Every structure is written in C-alpha cells, then in structure tokens.
Structure 1
Amino acid sequence: MEIISYNDLKNIITTGDIISVAALSVGNLPAEILKHIVEEYDETGSPDNLTFIMANDISDYEDGIDLDAFVQRGMIKRLITSLLTASPATIDAIKNNAIETYFFPQGILAVQYRNHSVSSPGMITKIGLNTSVDPRISGGTVNDATSENLVSVLEIKGEEYLHYDFPGIDAALLRGTFADEKGNIFMTHESHLGEGYSVAAATHQNGGKVIVQVKEIVQSGSFPPYDVFIPGELVDYVVINENPEYHKQVMQAYYDPALSGHYRVRDIQEQPMKLSSRKIILRRAAQFLNEGDVVSIGFGINNELPNVLIEEQAEDLVQLNIDTGIFGGIIGSKDRFGMNYNLDARMRHELTWDFIYHGGHDIAYLSFAEIDRLGNVNVSCFGNKMSGSGGFIDISQTVKTIIFSGTLVAGSQSSCENNQLIIEQEGHSHKFVNNVQSVDFNAAYSRELNQQVFYVTERAVFQLVEEGLKLIEIGPGLDLQKDVLSKMDFDPIISDELNITDQNIYQNDWGELKQSIQRRNHIDKGEDKYEL
C-alpha cells in the first residue's frame, strides 16, 4: 500500500479505463477522488473514454462532483448501472445517445465481482429471465448507442439461465473511514458497508489498481482485526481526505454515530404522515403483513411504510430490510431514506443479496409506474422518464409475496371525508395500460415461481391470477365504472365477490394495524394465506 496525493491520480487513472465505484448517493462515495479526476480532465483533456460500473446511483447533491460531472464533460463512453435517480445530465445524455448504457439488476451488479476469478465463467443466474434484461427482450440495453450485448441465454440441465459478461476492472475507486499503516481499510463511520471488498478483490485479480479515500491513517492495531473490511493486500493506494465536504456519511451529515450503529436513539425525528391517498395506500398494503415477516422495503412510496408501522405501534412485529445491507431498526423516509437508526445488523452489500437470493424475505413492498392487463409491471422507463429498476428485478424474482403500491392514476388529487375517498382532481396519465413500456416484472414467470402478488392503490386492490389482473376490492363510496374502470386502458377481471376496503383506514386516526397483523398470524400458512 502506498499513500499518495490527489495529484498522483493523473498517473493512475488513464483514458479508456474501466472504473468501478461502490457507493450509494454520497454514502461511501470517494468524492474527493472524483473531484481531482475531473479537475485533471479540465486541465489536460484526459482521462476520457471511461466505462463506469456502479450498482447504485451516486450524487453529492451539492458541488456536482458526481456522475453528472463526468458525463457533462464527455468523459464517459459506457455506463453499467442499476439506477439513476439523481443524475439528470446523465439521463439526458442517455436519451440523446451520447453514452452507451445498460440497466442491470442491482443485486447482479453487486455480486458479479466475485465471479471475476480464474475459477468462474462469469455471472450465471436466473435473475432477469423474461424481463427487460433478458437478451430476447432488450438485454438491458437502454438506447440505440448501446449495441454490444452483455447478456446471453444458457441452458443447463434443461433449465434456462442468463450469463452476464462484465468487463474486468482497471481501477476501483473506493472509500473507507480509516486505513492503518498496512493498508487495512475500516468502515467505522460509514452508514453502510457496500460491496467495496468484492470490487477490490475483482480489480486486484484483473491486475487493476485499488484506490481508497479515507479520513485518516491510524497506527496498526488501533482496531480489532475482525473490523478489517478490505485487507491491505488488496489495496494499492490510499488518499487522505482533505475537505470534510467530500467525505459525508449521508447527504445531511458529515458523521452521525447513530447511523453507523455506535449508539441507539429513542426515536427518529420523522413527522407523522398527513392523511392522503399515499397514507391510505400504505395502510392498506400493510394489512398484508404477518407477525415475524422479514420485509423488503423498496424505493418510492414504500419508503414511508415504516412511518405507518411506527404510528400504529406495529414496528416491532416485523423486521424491515433495505438492500443496502441494513437489517431492522428505524428506516427513514423520503430524503432520509437509507438513514437507519437502531439497526440490528449490517452486512456487505453483496452478502445482503445472497440473503435475498436465498429466500431471506417473506414479503416485498415495491412501487410501480405501469401495470398491464396481464399483470406485468414497468418501473424503469416510462413517458419521458428513465431511471432503471435498481433491485426491483432481483427482489421480485426471489420473494414469496409481492405488494405493488401506487396511485391508480398519475397526478390525481384526493382527500378523505366521512371515512370515504373523495377524488378532487383526476390525474393526467393512466398507470394501468394495455402494454407496459418495459417488462421489469413478468407476471407469467411470477406464476411459474408460485408467488402471491397484489397491486394496492387508493381506489382499488387487484390480485394476479392465472387469467391476468383481477379486481378484488374497491374503496368505500367510489363508483366502479367512473372512479376505477374508466381510469384504466383495459377491463380487468372483476371478482364475483368484490370486497369493500375497510373504511376505517380512510380516517385520520386508525389504530388497528397492530391487531390486524397479529390476527393474520393465526391464518393458515397455506395458499389461501392472503384470501380477503
């Protein structure tokens, strides 16, 4: 291991390099390394023609030293990622065919580094079959500029698998809290662990360079050996952070010890949710929970599900998990999503996906952008938006029960009165369409996997059945044709026993979720577990 200055990066990062960054937003982001690479380009016009491989989107939300900074300068040739939510310039470049882009499942991106070894033929998995990453659909390619197919279909013992062919890494840009004198990296202050170890190992095996940004060099033996996250044998260079603004734990704070599990807080400063269609959806969706469930919380509307559980004093009945590797505790919502207090455990990102792939979740709460008559779901590309699917595909192909949550119509405004939903203003776009723009969840394949699937909106609840999408429940006081069916581009199957949603969830104070979850625990665990 060699301690270098940021100016030395110009001799290490070169034109054409394939670069891996193991970060999420500002978490684990080596922002000061990125800053100096950008400044070197501004001075010399090099390096460029870069490939970035990232399991998650990165953004510092302030100075612009992130993915957009590279893309705006034309430094990136190819991008392989799962999600883009905070990189508007990058999204515009993708739409304009300025960079080659692949959207792959987040879990695949996190675990594939372990397959860069002399003993492995690459990433072979069923994850992604029959979705947008299947080469028989689009192979994960996002625009016309992306012509090389990195995914192929294999048959092994009569079963289909996907083979992901990722390029080797030339430079790993990573971050830790401390490095000792031998180059061992510790994640002491970080909010999550990430997949940096596997990235470093894959880069080392490929003959690339591993560069780690840290706050400080400490004396060897300062920390227990079992706290080593990346052993010094895998680290080539260490740079010491000079400006705390480029080493934030989360976007709101340089360092909050509660977020790294160093102490527990009594409560998180979350404002109670106002009564709205969003809260109604989450209340209804939460009624599918069983006591003891391990719950996957997805991005979007569902990141406020913990708020509902806390308000209803039901948070201790289930264990929440987000795929960054955080288990249990209090999960923040909206801009605080990913800020986890009182966590029970944290794992390396790639090991968390092992947990998920091995059936660790009982139920997943996922969002949707479009749903079609067959029950297929699009979450990645719709209208003029292009975001990728993150871990949506991985989770939706490995969990037993899925609850898709969202409003029936995009942009609609509603309120509650007398325990009923009042549609005050209709939305501008239908979400229930004849054909989804991107198949990120394949309903037919889901039935092969014997999953239980429900679609919860503020106006109605649907279930995936053999024939397609079935309407099983409608909100109290709503007109079936006017408020539901006319807002869909197709006619769903309508249950002969169409239920009315419990009107109590449409009032300001509810207080029945805890009892509902405990009551469900007495229901048989058979295939009728979710009969309404």
Structure 2
Amino acid sequence: MEKFFPEINTILNQLQVTHEKKNKVVSAEEAVRVIRNGDTIVFGGFAGVGVCEEIAGALEQYYLETGNPRDLTLMFAVATGPGNDTRRGLNHLAHEGLLSRIIGGHWGLAPCIQKLAVENKVLAYNLPQGIISHMYRNIASGKAGLFSQVGLGTFVDPRNGGGKLNEKTTEDVVRLMEIDDDEYLFYKALPVNVAVIRGTTADTDGNITMEKEALTLESLSIAMAARNSGGLVIVQVERVARAGTLSSRQVKIPGILVDCVVVARPENHWQTFGEPYNPAFSGEVEIPMQSIPPIPMDCRKIIARRAAFELKPNCVVNLGIGVPEGVSSVANEEKILDFMNMTAEPGVIGGLPAGGINFGAAVNAAALIDQPYQFDFYNGGGVDVAFLGMAEADRAGCVNVSKFGPKLAGAGGFINISQNSKKVVFMGTFTAGGMEYIIEDGRIVIQKEGKFRKFVEQVQHITFSGPYASKSGRKILYITERCVFELGSDGPELVEIAPGADLQKDILDHMDFMPVIREPLKLMDERIFYPAKMGLKEDLLDISLENRITYDPATNIMFANLAGYAVKSANDVRAIGETIANLLAPLSHKAYAIGNYDQFVIDPDLIDAYSAMQQTLVEKYFCKVSRYSTSAFLRMKLGDALEKRGVPPHIYESPEEAHKFLRN
C-alpha cells in the first residue's frame, strides 16, 4: 500500500471516525480526501444499476471547493448515469481538470463525460466491456495485460485506430500480435490506485454483502486490482453491522480488501436509477410473469416479433439494450420464455431482463454471477443467439453502434458478444429521424421517410466487422420493420420484405448501396403485423413428425428435429421409425443423419424399443449418424442404450460438434 499511498495511515487516523480499532466507516467527504492528483480511479456500477452516487457526488463537490484532486484517470466497464446531462452517476466527474484521461467500455448513459472526449479535452479510449471486466482480474493477478482476439477488425484493432476516440489521444494501449500464425490483440494493463464499488451491508471490519443489489458485477475483481496495486478501496453501502455478525456465505467482498466504508443517504442508494428497490431484481421474490404488460404494437415491436422467430428451444440468448429488449417481452407474451435462457452481460441468467434505465437487471432471474465470468462464457461461444442494436450498417456488413459524430455511445459488450455468439441478429429501424408509418390489415405502410439513412456505404465506426465475421460461417441477420438482410460473402443480402413494403420505393431508394437480392425474395411472416399472438409456442413445440424430419438431396443429409418431442408410447417410437423409413426408402443410397434431441423426453421403459428402432434405421438407411443434446443425462442414457445394441451413439453437446462429425 505504501507504494502509492505512503501517508494513507496518517490520513485515516486523522479522520477520527472510529469507535473501535477496526471500524472503517467514514463519511463520503472524508473518503474522497485520500484520492491524490494523477490517480487512476475505477468506478463500479452498470448504467443505471448499482450506482455509487454518494461518493461520486462527494468527489465532485470536493473538487469544486478545493481544485483537488486533479488529472485523474477514470476507468469503467459501463458508465453509470441517467442517460441525460443531469449531474448523476459519472456525470458528476465531468470536469476538465478533474479528469485528464478516460478508459471506458460503454459511455452511453453519461453524456457529460462523453462531451469531454468529443471536445478533445481529455485523453479518451473505448475498449470492449468484456476486456475491461477481465482486465481487473489480470491487474489483480499481476499480469502485464490481456491477450484476446476480441476486437480484431473493429475500431479497437490498431489498424483501425486502436480504440482512440479523439485527436488528443495518441498513446497506444492496444497492440496487434501474432501467436502460432493467429492474430491477437494485447491490451495493456495499468495500476488501479482507487476503487469505488458498492454493496448492501458492511460490518465495521469492512466485510461487504450484496443481498439487495440487482447485480454483483466485477466488484470483487476491482477491489483486488486496487489492493494488489497498492491502492485504496472505498465501498458505498446502505447500512452497517457490528463486526463478526455477517454470514460468511453472504460476504462478497472480504474486509481485507476494503479501506473505507461509506453509508449513503437513501436517496443516493437506489437499487437502480429507475427503482428505489425492487425485490424481484435481487432475487428475494418472484413476480407472476403474466402481470407484465405487453409492449405497444409499433415498429420496434414489429422488429422484435420478427427476431423472435430466431428463438429455438433451450437456446441461450443475449439481449442488447434498446430495440433488442423487446425480444424478451415478445417471448413472454407468446408464452415461450420458459423454453429458453435469457441472459444479459452484467451477469444475469434466466428470467426476464429489464429494459430502459433498469437495463442489466432482471425479474425472476435463475442465477446471478459476476460479470467477468459472464464474459468468459460469452467469449467462449456460450451464446446461441444474440440480439443486438444496429445504428448503421454498410456494404461490407459492418455495423456501428459506438460513435456518430458528436455522439459517443461506446461499444460496451457489443464486440465481445457479436464476435463470439453462434448466431447474431442486428435489430433497428430502416431509417431514423421522424419516420412515420401505419400498421394495418397485416401490412406496413411507410407514410413519411426518416431523415437519416442507416444502410450506408461505409460506417463511421466499425463496432462489428462484416468481413471478419463472414469467415466464421455464422448466421448474421439484419432485421428492420420492413425487410431482413443476411450476411453473405459479398455483404448484406436482402432475403425478406414486409407485406405492404415496396422494394424500390421503401427499400432500395433509401440505401447508399445496392444489396444482393436473394431470389426468391420471401415475405416476412404476416402474423408479425397483426396484433394477435403469433402462436410461436405452437411453432416451437407442436410440430408434426413430417415437418420435423426432412431430407436435403444436395447434402444427402436427413435432419430429425426432435427438440421438445415427447415419446410416451410404443406408437410414438413406431411413428418416428416409419416417418424416417418412408422418407429415405425411395433413395438408391444411404444418407447421412443428424438428430436434435434438445428437451427430448422419453419414457424410461421405451428406451430399449427406441434404441432397437434406431439400430434398424442405421442398418438400412444411414451411412453415418450424429446426434446432439444439451442434456448430459439424456446423452448418457440414450448413448448407453445405443451402445448395448452395437450402435455408436455419437451424441454431442452442440449442433456444431454434431455437424463437424458428419463432415469428417
């Protein structure tokens, strides 16, 4: 600690706030006085959630009164703020002189600090949210930085600017490196001198619990980073308990990491900027999902409804902020929310993610984990389908959501998620700025076009690289209220058009480039444009066997989609076998086969009969078979039964693994 704060013990002793030797409770005004000129200060929190309002306000007031501290480096994964220029959240720190450098992930809800960067008054960097979240762990463990492929091809890539946001910023903090013929980015670490984080309850030894917090974020990693940099950790809480009275199971930040505890006034410790306290956000109660009202039938809902067709049973979903928030609402209206797993990057798994100023929290979440672990999962490809915003898209399929002239939103977790999810769905209106339309009789009619085109020749900022993504072979969609594009080898291909939309007048005339038009051009499902429920639950689960089992002559692959199918009788076993036999018997050769067994249910007494049926099919019709299911139990039970009959099970956890087996 003495490395960065040689006088800290003297300062804390002078505060004269202790009633006993280990009491770490101080006022916000006293805590901020130990911040020195030139320090690097990290603030926790996520948008409008978990804001350290008491401490941020005290730091601003101290600077305005004394002119100190000066020249701070501010670092955050997601800036806290109300979304306007009200002095709340990190907007408190938006003073030239107080800050000299800002390194942030998502800047969107703190426009006052955006302004400092845009006006060239501070050094400013935008790095991926997941990179910053992981960087705290690497700083804590003494690493020089972080290697990752996240950011390649985007504005974070040194070949495209290296994350620098203005002319004043010249120093490189990101380097391009090659390891075993693969490209990586190296993100340079820096010591953390002051950490400002938040909890619910502290004891006088500084142990922190988070029982009423909507998110736990990377608070533990931030505290460790500061402590192991020789820095200071300040924690804002709601209340204080006597030392030794907190349950060790509930302590999220141990007292050995904490220097100062600040008890906030109630008005400065809301659970989110939108809710003083909602027990459903912190997992203390569950609310009935039917009590959540449907969203209005407008173009944003039209986009969300079309996107919801990309949901599959048992899929893991990420939802971005803005238009994508509507997908969870549509899934709830359609009664299919329980058949998939919604997630959000700050650590929410399951439930219904919240929107607006509460974004990041969730109602009835199944689990809440620390943000760095969520990005471990995301970076490794754990998301089956990501629904993300789209402010601009260009001829190459690149997307910009991070910077537009004087507006600086920042990338947030967009780069991590879009680069690593198995399927990506970008969502946004076709034009922006005053578009007027009506939705009637299952059609959309554009009455007045928006002022600003969103499909441009070249985006201003590459937050998603189309050329980099096209190499992966993943499905990438761009969904608007009037048409749908899919990323192809030559950029976005127009694949669907809305009923009522005119191809030339409503689409091509308002694009800066001519897209590839895939023939035949399909109509978007007309159910999207009627206010009644679309029947997605029936689409997901009540599919006839004939529609579940298909054969593609071009690849010679039979696909059996048995997701959510229940085998309850010998007749069900016989029906599956006969349907496959009727489809493949006319062929003069054997076919490859792949089966989707996600949420497949079979009576235990029928497993042997089912395996016998599969054995017959393998002998007569299949040259090679693979299967997949996320259920380890089903993989084991069905695999054992098939092996007993001499049938290699080849049951994998993901469709990618199953398809790879067939190709090899």
Please give the range of the TM-score, normalised by the shorter of the 2 chains. over 0.9
Instruction: Report the counterpart of residue 124 of structure 2 in structure 1.
Output: 101
Instruction: Report the counterpart of residue 309 of structure 1 in structure 2.
Output: 331
| C-alpha RMSD of matched pairs (Å) | 2.1
Identify the match of residue 115 of structure 1 among 138, 143, 156.
Answer: 138
Instruction: Report the counterpart of residue 365 of structure 1 in structure 2.
Output: 387
Identify the match of residue 291 of structure 1 among 298, 308, 313.
Answer: 313
- 1:224-281 deviations in Å (ceiling 9; x for gaps): 312211111111222222x111111111333222211011111376432222211111
Distance 1:153 1:134 in 2: 7
- 1:329-353 deviations in Å (ceiling 9; x for gaps): 1222334433411110000111111
Q: 1:219 corresponds to which letter in structure 2?
A: R
Instruction: Report the counterpart of residue 112 of structure 2 in structure 1.
Output: 89
- Shift, 1:360, TM fit: 1.7
Distance 1:65 1:462 in 2: 40
Distance 2:363 2:36 in 1: 40
Instruction: Report the counterpart of residue 402 of structure 1 in structure 2.
Output: 424
Distance 2:259 2:358 in 1: 34
Distance 1:16 1:349 in 2: 28
Q: Which runs of 5+ in 2 are unaligned?
A: 1-21, 549-560, 564-594, 597-654, 660-664
**8 Å contact from structure 1 (residues 377, 440) kept in 2:** yes
1:464 paired with 2:487, answer yes
- Shift, 1:7, TM fit: 3.4
1:474 paired with 2:497, answer yes
Distance 1:7 1:432 in 2: 50
**8 Å contact from structure 2 (residues 395, 513) kept in 1:** yes
Identify the match of residue 41 of structure 2 among 16, 19, 25.
Answer: 19
Instruction: Report the counterpart of residue 170 of structure 2 in structure 1.
Output: 147
Cα–Cα, structure 1 residues 93 and 268, in superposed 2: closer, same or farther, change >3 Å? farther
Distance 1:40 1:364 in 2: 43
Q: Secondary structure at the match of 2:205?
A: coil
Instruction: Report the counterpart of residue 154 of structure 2 in structure 1.
Output: 131
1:347 paired with 2:340, answer no
Q: Secondary structure at the match of 1:424?
A: strand
- Shift, 1:94, TM fit: 1.7
**8 Å contact from structure 1 (residues 370, 432) kept in 2:** yes
Q: Secondary structure at the match of 1:458?
A: coil
- Shift, 1:10, TM fit: 4.6
- Shift, 1:424, TM fit: 1.4
Distance 2:96 2:436 in 1: 41
**8 Å contact from structure 1 (residues 328, 344) kept in 2:** yes
Written as runs of structure 1 = structure 2, the 5 A alignment for 1:176-191 is 176-191=199-214
Q: Which has the higher contact order (CA 8 A, sep 6+)?
A: 1
- Bigger fraction of residues in helix: 2
Q: Secondary structure at the match of 2:456?
A: coil
TM-score by length of 1: 0.95
Range that drifts further, 29-38 or 431-440: 29-38
1:431 paired with 2:454, answer yes
Instruction: Report the counterpart of residue 440 of structure 1 in structure 2.
Output: 463
Written as runs of structure 1 = structure 2, the 5 A alignment for 1:41-440 is 41-59=63-81, 64-72=87-95, 74-117=97-140, 120-241=143-264, 243-267=265-289, 270-411=292-433, 412-440=435-463
Distance 1:258 1:117 in 2: 33
- Shift, 1:190, TM fit: 0.6
Instruction: Report the counterpart of residue 455 of structure 1 in structure 2.
Output: 478
Q: 1:107 corresponds to which letter in structure 2?
A: G
**8 Å contact from structure 2 (residues 82, 109) kept in 1:** no
The alignment-based identity, stated in percent, is 36
**8 Å contact from structure 1 (residues 276, 414) kept in 2:** no
- 1:487-519 deviations in Å (ceiling 9; x for gaps): 111100011221111112111113322223335
- Shift, 1:83, TM fit: 1.4
TM-score by length of 2: 0.76
Q: Secondary structure at the match of 1:279?
A: helix
Q: Which runs of 5+ in 1 are unaligned?
A: none
- Shift, 1:25, TM fit: 3.0
Distance 1:110 1:36 in 2: 25
**8 Å contact from structure 1 (residues 107, 391) kept in 2:** yes
Larger Rg: 2
**8 Å contact from structure 1 (residues 132, 439) kept in 2:** yes
Instruction: Report the counterpart of residue 571 of structure 2 in structure 1.
Output: none
